[in-house]
Structure 1
């Protein structure tokens, strides 16, 4: 294998790895959300993320090649502070809170499929506020995915004791919309300051807000001992806060450089399928032929949607997915 083929191969491996990392968010969150109340878990997640991303920044900021894309300085304009706080509280805090709440009512499979609708929701918000347009093929892909989502919601669902599937779908939809609503703004901040720097400040804003919430609501931070009592929960929290919310950006940047943004972005369409398969094999969730077909069709619809959008607006394609985790 020559150098060019090797780089291409490693680029695809990196792109698929990012899809796997982001695709298992629901699976990773499930055990944590069952052990700790959602509001407190949000605080724990972003404190961990701030620590992890700060360490990553210390290393990436010293590299000239990495700092160009990830950020070399922590200095930001005062006019962007409000935007960063908005993206942090809504795009990260609200997103995570409703995501954790949903897992008390639906399985990681259903959660992952709804979260996989990010590209559609992001473009819809772009149509509302940024004059984006969808072509006929994209509309067809969206309608097909909507039918699949409906079929999944009325079909066999992973049941949770004491949970309400309808409420779970409502929670995860709110979570997905919170992330999609801030997608373009997060992308513009990442372009200006670097993805690591912009996300670090967003995580800090959530963590600081979390301190006020902890005091106001009297949250029980001693629940951290529940996590510390289990090596598995410790590993999941670190992976959730540092791997999913931090290290994955380095892997994605590598894939961008090796195979290009368009191809690397296409690989992210595997996220719902990855989440489904991992949930089945690690959490024992339901494996059904009908559900497998539905998830596969959604992946195809996402691929078609992204493919045609990328052809028409290559710069927007990167914005739609570069920071969805």
Structure 2
């Protein structure tokens, strides 16, 4: 195997790894959200993420080959403080909070399918605020996905004791809206400061906000002992905070270098399918032809949406993010 083929193979492996990491967010979050209240879990997640990204920054800031992309300085212009805070609080904090809340009402399968709609919602915000346009194929892909979401919501749902499926779908929809409405602003900050530095600053902002909310609501920070007493929960929190919200960005950057942004982004369309399979295998959620058909249709629609988008100049590439 020559070097070019190796680079392509390793690039695709990296891209698929990111899809798998981000695709299991709902599965990883489910046990944690059942053990700790959602607001406190948001705080724990982003404290862990700050620690993880701080380590990554220290390891990469001196490497001139990659620090241009990841960031080489923690200095932020004062004019961007508010942008960083809003991206952190809304795009990360509310995204995670609503996501955790939804898992008390719906399964990780349903959660992952709705989260997979992120590219469509991101483009809608771009159409409203940045004069982006969708072509006919993209509109068709969106409508097909919307019908699939409706079919999922009225079809067989994983039963959650004491849960209200409609409320769960509302929460996860708010989660998607929170991260999608800040996508373009987060992208501009990443271009300016580097992906690791910009995300680290956002995580610090949401960690501070989370601490203020936990204290003001009188929530119990000693709930961390519940996590620390269970090796599985410790591993899940570290993976949620450091793997999903940290290491995955470095892996994705590697895939960008090897196979390009467009091809790497297309691999992320596998996220709903990955989440579905892992939820069935690890959480014992329902496996049915009905849900399988819906998930595969959404994956195909996402592929068509992004594949055609990469050939146009009217819309920038949209990368779903489940930081």
User: Is this a same-fold pair by TM over 0.5?
Assistant: yes
1:214, 1:21 → 2: CA distance? 28
**Match of 2:119?**
119
**Match of 1:182?**
182
SS in 1 for 2:310: helix
Matched, 1:257 2:257: yes
SS in 2 for 1:312: coil
Matches within 5 A, 1:172-321: 172-313=172-313, 316-317=316-317, 320-321=318-319
**Match of 2:87?**
87
2:76, 2:221 → 1: CA distance? 32
Q: CA deviation at 1:200?
A: 0.2
Question: Is the Cα contact below 8 Å between 1:183 and 1:324 reproduced in 2?
Answer: no
Question: Is the Cα contact below 8 Å between 1:57 and 1:196 reproduced in 2?
Answer: yes
2:28, 2:301 → 1: CA distance? 25
Matches within 5 A, 1:3-152: 3-152=3-152
Q: CA deviation at 1:314?
A: 8.5
Question: Is the Cα contact below 8 Å between 1:22 and 1:244 reproduced in 2?
Answer: yes
Question: Is the Cα contact below 8 Å between 1:25 and 1:244 reproduced in 2?
Answer: yes
Question: Is the Cα contact below 8 Å between 1:105 and 1:164 reproduced in 2?
Answer: yes
Question: Is the Cα contact below 8 Å between 2:270 and 2:299 reproduced in 1?
Answer: yes
Question: Is the Cα contact below 8 Å between 2:12 and 2:259 reproduced in 1?
Answer: yes
Q: CA deviation at 1:315?
A: 7.4
1:301, 1:315 → 2: CA distance? 17
SS in 2 for 1:316: coil
CA deviations on 1:140-197 (whole Å, 9 max, x unpaired) are 0000001111111100000100000000000000000000000000000000000000
Q: CA deviation at 1:213?
A: 1.0
Runs of 5+ unmatched residues, structure 1: none
Runs of 5+ unmatched residues, structure 2: none
Matches within 5 A, 1:155-174: 155-174=155-174
What's the RMSD between the two structures over aligned residues? 1.0
| Cα pair distance change 1:79/1:175, threshold 3 Å | same
Question: Is the Cα contact below 8 Å between 1:118 and 1:324 reproduced in 2?
Answer: no
2:320, 2:172 → 1: CA distance? 20
Question: Is the Cα contact below 8 Å between 2:11 and 2:259 reproduced in 1?
Answer: yes
Q: CA deviation at 1:311?
A: 1.1
Q: CA deviation at 1:313?
A: 3.3
